[in-house]
């Protein structure tokens, strides 16, 4: 990579930077609240797919992300999105937790900005995959995530339950990036 990067002209770098800066983020995952989800299995590439024969099962306290188009997702089509099935009332509960901190944490807007799209080095958190958000919150809580800003998240995530994380992730994932 270093050799390739060194071979790129300054003008090409400026043009590429302008191109990528002009791109508007789009929602990759659509969040849907539901009591039941399609039965699913873990397929190739550790991706979850709906069982071909159909059927459904209770969602419980899980997030189940399935491709909108299984064939496109299996072929790693970069434009194939996902549907994140979340428990009923998760989005509203998550919105309240994000806005207030739920009494055990600070509101997310204090560090991530009023629109939750980031402030300075603090990243934006809206429009991300709910599974990704839960994984990051859990890893921050357990100390499995490190980095310069990880210590700042230790206190806000310390008292979050799994249900809290699912609700926060459902809300953030339901918002436009």
At 7-62, the pLDDT tens digits run: 899 999 999 989 988 887 777 899 999 999 999 999 988 899 999 998 999 999 99
The fraction of the chain above a pLDDT of 70, given in percent, is 99
Backbone angles phi, psi at 149, to 5 degrees: -95, -5
- Domain borders along the chain are 26-86, 90-174
Residue 130: predicted pLDDT: 96
In the chain, at which residue ranges do the beta strands (DSSP E only) sit?
A: 29-33, 36-38, 40-42, 48-50, 56-58, 64-67, 82-86, 118-119, 122-123
Kindly state the tokens that stand for 102.
């739920």
CB 150 within 8 A of CB 140: yes
CA angle, 101 then 92 then 144, to 5°? 50
With a cut of 80, say whether residue 104 has pLDDT above it.
no
Return the CA Rg of the chain: 19
Backbone angles phi, psi at 74, to 5 degrees: -65, -30
Residue 3: predicted pLDDT: 86
Helices (H), 64-161: 70-74, 90-100, 109-112, 130-142, 150-157
Confidence band, pLDDT 50/70/90 cuts, at residue 80: confident
CB atoms within 10 A of CB 140: 22
| DSSP state for residue 132 in the 8-state scheme | H
pTM of the model: 0.84
- Mean confidence (pLDDT) of the chain: 91
Residue 1: predicted pLDDT: 80
Average pLDDT over residues 162-177: 94
Residue 136: predicted pLDDT: 94
With a cut of 90, say whether residue 115 has pLDDT above it.
yes
Residue 15: predicted pLDDT: 92
What CATH number belongs to 90-174?
Answer: 1.10.760.10
Pick from 34, 36, 39: nearest CA to 49: 39
Q: Which residue has the higher pLDDT, 94 or 120?
A: 94
């Amino acid at each position: 990579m270093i050799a390739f990067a060194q071979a790129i002209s300054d003008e090409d770098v400026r043009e590429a930077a302008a191109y990528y800066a002009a791109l508007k983020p789009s929602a990759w995952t659509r969040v849907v609240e539901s009591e039941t989800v399609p039965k699913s299995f873990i397929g190739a590439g550790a991706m979850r797919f709906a069982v071909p024969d159909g059927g459904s099962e209770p969602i419980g306290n899980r997030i189940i992300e399935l491709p909108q188009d299984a064939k496109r997702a299996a072929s790693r089509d970069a434009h194939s999105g996902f549907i994140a099935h979340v428990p009923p009332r998760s989005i509203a509960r998550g919105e309240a937790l994000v806005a207030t901190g739920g009494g055990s944490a600070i509101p997310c807007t204090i560090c991530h900005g009023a629109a939750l799209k980031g402030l300075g080095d603090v990243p934006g958190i809206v429009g991300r995959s709910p599974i990704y958000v839960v994984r990051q919150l859990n890893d921050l809580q357990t100390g499995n995530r490190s980095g310069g800003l990880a210590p700042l998240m230790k206190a806000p995530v310390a008292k979050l339950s799994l249900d809290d994380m699912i609700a926060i992730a459902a809300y953030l994932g339901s918002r436009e990036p």
